Structure 1
């Protein structure tokens, strides 16, 4: 139990239904859908699409999503890949010939075709109850009426001043400046797009005037995107990947997401006695950092478009984890830097919903970097993601850029099963941090007995770019000790990720939590 004399908040308890996400308006909209008779899929779509206007720096209909779904009355978990592909005309060989070494985050080559709308339409048609129009109604209302900019959103918005270009500057800045707390953000053009999707389904986005606007805008910026690329967009159901950890099964979305990295990390850490360590101590942070280095190195070698990933079994094999665990010195940091370094992005949203029938949804939705590529469509103001920056230009690599391919993705929804029963949908945002975030949250909860809110609140560390980032929850003495162990310690200049979770108790009680690093909350009824 937490100390009620110190800052913090309690977990949220309910019985009929619950939503946890990063903005209260989205949580409220999702809960209302449940109370009006919709199911968890209807509610998750409602909350997620609304988040594109409550947190436009993080997500939007120009982005991608991944979903894990537990159907009502079942314990199986279904994965839905809503990530888009590179345009057919993209060629790594051509880029190398032009002297390009990497696909930059503001380049037109970074823009992959948005996949989220197709996935959300499919999800609604296959699993929803209320209909797509009902799910999109809250987002349409707020896109027209506007959303007051929340504190965390305002903290993130200033990066838009440098990253946005062309039409995006008019849509997402106020006279060239970031919006501040309490200013109203509106997007009537995207409200019209959502009305078309509500009427016509995916065709309202991937065909006709909306697709023409997106393609014309991308081609004007030098892209090779075509209307055929948009029309061909199709999500795909797939089988999750999973791994056991201390009597629990961590279930992750398969590649092209990086969820297997979290499973490998837990497999490595299972060789150490984490429960005996101080959860906020130096030894735990060190072991997690070393496991991160090793697991991310494997990620960079093996994770790509599932049509091109061939060694996932090797990555998840117990023997692989055992060999990697043997490389860890509990007292000294190794000199290993991932070959593919990447920022800790704060620009993703996560939503989880559980309804009265115990359908559970774990959905993550993103335009990748803050405000995606910084490029928006001229007529409707749809901001394009820059997921193509997740490709490599190394010839022959499974994640080599190419026409029609899906890049390696950082966003990963999670679920936990115990004894065959789904126990908890959860997610932790933060770009490259996400596998480490999954591991930190789960080990906080499973190994150290922290409740869901405490497990999210606790300070975080992340081994990235040859350094160990520490949040301010680690004091100077801990930082000094980690330096002595060989880590190059730097203080994180922003929070590491954000997260939400809902635990489904045998008693029928739902327990929800939402990360204080974001503006959101868990709400139930």
Structure 2
């Protein structure tokens, strides 16, 4: 019990401390702050997972989860339901995703008994050279986060149709109908999403000059300011766009009226994307990589240009130490996780890029031998001030939504989709109802870097779905949103379950760490200017004793009360004996797990 309680939220104990609130007259009155109530089973700071035999959906919005279950009940596959939920989230959670962004997925197919990976990320404009791009930056050493410069081709819609063509059962008209209806008639805004809408509007208002054309986005999302919790939000333009996609397929988006509207829009605002960029787009089926952890568990992730293999590198490092010998919330456990993250991300910054342009030495990076070599660099007593990337032994060389769905046949879908920085670039094409991603901010400008900007090239991607096997069989479809938090979040959830025996829900609710810093894929190869030690951010559930121990070990520790930077978790486990699904979401988002 101590191992998990040490990582519980400190508010789990009843705390009665005086504070002040305002009554309806505006006068201050004393208030008692009350901690969590008690539970008859499990940890007091968590809740029960959801159990169901026929199907399960876990998404960041209850209405999206309901839509997914409705699709499953109609006879749709897990892929059909995942597409339906993703479409709904693009409407209901525009702060994290939409059809202006990219998509990655891992799919377990029970018929072939195989894992399939889909890279649905788009490329930079083919007609803009590195020299032209640098000229447009006008001396800036970084790519702006808003406006037309960081916009790359959105890959989500093509990703939907690739998955549907391989694993779909229902028509795309049936799959998209619920979201089209909600877009026309409206839906009540959820609390966490309302919080993010408000913060995005503030950030956009501060960057209007950088964005350039913001009238369309304001009219689509912020006509009367940021939508409030419970306010009914409609997006008829998105309904029309999705209707065209439902009727005309992916070509309606990439070579039809939608693509031509986008072409006209970017020409008008001085952007680089063109019709030809959309017409040339295609998704890419890729092989997921898996590494053994312990006790028969394997973690599976997608290869670059995503950062998924960073989680596998962390796993290969951490399996060299028995973390269960320490309490889960101890300084020792957090220290090893942090140092493993720092080591893995040094390689991310050096090697991870579009494999068509710069293949990474993946076999070497994921080898047990290299994991042992990197583990040997960790000092058990203190934080190492600076790590560097490994030297390959070769012959010659955010914000995001995550969802998972499983069906009665045993198909499991792990899907992540994002516009990158918050809502994206701030740009909405005339009458289309969705915002374009700003994923192109993640190119390096160093001409010698594997991730350097080039025309027709995919940028480095932060978004990653995850999957776990147990004794070679499908076990868990899961993910965790939020930029560089994602690989370290995947590993923390795995450790919670495998090493410390937490159930699916507890593994996501437990307090997390988020290490930020070190070299980045957007830096030059030398990592000039990077904070190489970085900052170790921890949630309130990490004890004061642990924080002080970590500081004494040389870590820069910050306690963060707002859970926004620690991701948003969804997961489904399939019991290998009974076939029963276990589903979980978490308190940091508005989400819900539902089954039938």
Tell me if both proteins adopt one fold, taking TM over 0.5 as the criterion. Answer: yes
1:358 is aligned to: 410
Deviations 1:299-330 (A, max 9, x none): 11111112122322222122221121111111
1:408 is aligned to: 460
**TM superposition shift of 1:182:** 1.1
Q: Distance in 1 between matches of 2:464 and 2:498?
A: 20
Q: Distance in 1 between matches of 2:134 and 2:545?
A: 47
From 332, 351, 354, the equivalent of 2:382 is 332
- The answer as to 2:79 corresponding to 1:41 is yes
Q: Distance in 2 between matches of 1:516 and 1:232?
A: 41
1:124 is aligned to: 164
**TM superposition shift of 1:220:** 2.6
Q: Distance in 2 between matches of 1:494 and 1:137?
A: 36
Q: How does 1:96-495 map to 2 (within 5 A)?
A: 96-97=134-135, 98-164=138-204, 165-175=214-224, 177-246=225-294, 247-307=296-356, 308-336=358-386, 345=398, 347-465=399-517, 466-492=534-560, 494-495=562-563
1:66 is aligned to: 104
Equivalent residues of 1:84, 1:115 under 8 A apart: yes
**TM superposition shift of 1:237:** 0.9
Taking a change above 3 Å as real, the CA distance of residues 278 and 255 of structure 1, as seen in their structure-2 partners, is: same
SS in 2 for 1:352: strand
SS in 1 for 2:405: strand
**TM superposition shift of 1:493:** 5.4
Taking a change above 3 Å as real, the CA distance of residues 90 and 473 of structure 1, as seen in their structure-2 partners, is: farther
Equivalent residues of 1:15, 1:509 under 8 A apart: yes
Equivalent residues of 2:353, 2:360 under 8 A apart: no
**TM superposition shift of 1:337:** 7.5
Structure 1: where are the runs of 5+ without partners?
340-344
Q: Distance in 1 between matches of 2:446 and 2:83?
A: 37
Q: Distance in 2 between matches of 1:192 and 1:28?
A: 22
SS in 2 for 1:77: strand
2:69 is aligned to: 31
Q: Distance in 1 between matches of 2:588 and 2:129?
A: 39
Structure 2: where are the runs of 5+ without partners?
5-37, 205-213, 390-397, 518-533
Q: Distance in 2 between matches of 1:195 and 1:381?
A: 12
**TM superposition shift of 1:250:** 1.0
From 121, 125, 132, the equivalent of 1:83 is 121
2:593 is aligned to: 522
Deviations 1:58-105 (A, max 9, x none): 000101100111113332100111101111023333344542322121
Equivalent residues of 1:90, 1:403 under 8 A apart: yes
What TM-score results when the alignment is normalised by the length of structure 2?
Answer: 0.84
1:342 is aligned to: none
Deviations 1:196-238 (A, max 9, x none): 1111101111123211222222233321111010111111111
Equivalent residues of 1:68, 1:362 under 8 A apart: yes
Deviations 1:7-26 (A, max 9, x none): 43101111111111111000
Equivalent residues of 2:262, 2:274 under 8 A apart: no
**TM superposition shift of 1:418:** 1.9
Equivalent residues of 1:106, 1:163 under 8 A apart: no
Equivalent residues of 2:69, 2:594 under 8 A apart: yes
- The answer as to 2:561 corresponding to 1:512 is no
Equivalent residues of 1:293, 1:336 under 8 A apart: no
Equivalent residues of 1:19, 1:523 under 8 A apart: yes
Would you say how many aligned residue pairs link Structure 1 and Structure 2?
518
Q: Distance in 1 between matches of 2:400 and 2:360?
A: 28
Equivalent residues of 1:296, 1:338 under 8 A apart: no
CA RMSD, aligned part only? Answer: 1.7
Q: Distance in 1 between matches of 2:203 and 2:264?
A: 21
2:21 is aligned to: none
What TM-score results when the alignment is normalised by the length of structure 1?
Answer: 0.95
Equivalent residues of 1:193, 1:204 under 8 A apart: no
Deviates more, 1:373-382 or 1:502-511: 373-382
1:19 is aligned to: 57
Taking a change above 3 Å as real, the CA distance of residues 404 and 494 of structure 1, as seen in their structure-2 partners, is: farther
Greater CA radius of gyration, 1 or 2?
Answer: 2
Q: Distance in 1 between matches of 2:282 and 2:133?
A: 26
